[in-house]
Chains A and B, each alone.
Chain A
Amino acid sequence: RKEVEQDPGPFNVPEGATVAFNCTYSNSASQSFFWYRQDCRKEPKLLMSVYSSGNEDGRFTAQLNRASQYISLLIRDSKLSDSATYLCVVNVLEKYSSASKIIFGSGTRLSIRP
């Protein structure tokens, strides 16, 4: 089982629709959580961090459920420019060291059609 799992999609939705992605993680030592966006043939860029209380940034809302070990991303009023791959990222603390491990999910592809 992968440590971070995402539905690969693709999600193909009309402009203006609301779309939601989930991401599950298996390691209970996971400390912090993020969503990154990656456009085709480009490098990943941070979209938003995910806080325990949930957080919103414009049309984007992120939620964390530690008990069920999943995070979600909701996009409202989707735009053509939202078409991209959305990567779930988890920071896991290493138990016996001072280091941490960053784990990316495989990504969920989103395509917004006019």
Chain B
Amino acid sequence: DTGVSQDPRHKITKRGQNVTFRCDPISEHNRLYWYRQTLGQGPEFLTYFQNEAQLEKSRLLSDRFSAERPKGSFSTLEIQRTEQGDSAMYLCASSLVGLAGPRSYNEQFFGPGTRLTVL
């Protein structure tokens, strides 16, 4: 399967613990996005990378959240000191941006998501 993959698919943790999620984008894609989605809502943008550079972070992304894409391939999203309000589906998407530049938009391909439950 050459689509976007995410690991783990499900994570249950206790309040206050740290969690880390991984996303492997489609291999030739240079842009990678993280979103959070709760029931009945659309995906909320968290952050995105162009290669290894983090270009944009949402105000939703508190200091407890950090994302990395060290080699411009896979990415990790870490949540420190989890709270019950962090329970959601965390979606990763990737796209290929060409000559149109960083402000352009190309179709995003989403992974299956990581469902986080904070008890």
Contacts and interface: CB of A to CB of B under 8 A. Distances in A.
A64 B1 CA distance: 35
A100 B103 contact: yes
Contact of A43 (B41, B105, B113): B113
Interface residues of B, number: 24
B41 A98 contact: no
Interface stretch (A11-19, A52-60, A72-80, A101-109): A101-109
Contacts of B58: 101
Q: Is the interface of A mostly helix, strand, loop or mixed?
A: strand
Interface of A: 4, 8, 31-32, 34, 42-46, 87, 91, 93-94, 97-107
Interface of B: 33, 35, 40-45, 48, 55-56, 58, 91, 101-105, 107-108, 110-113
7 contacts: A42-B112, A43-B113, A87-B43, A93-B103, A98-B102, A100-B102, A104-B42
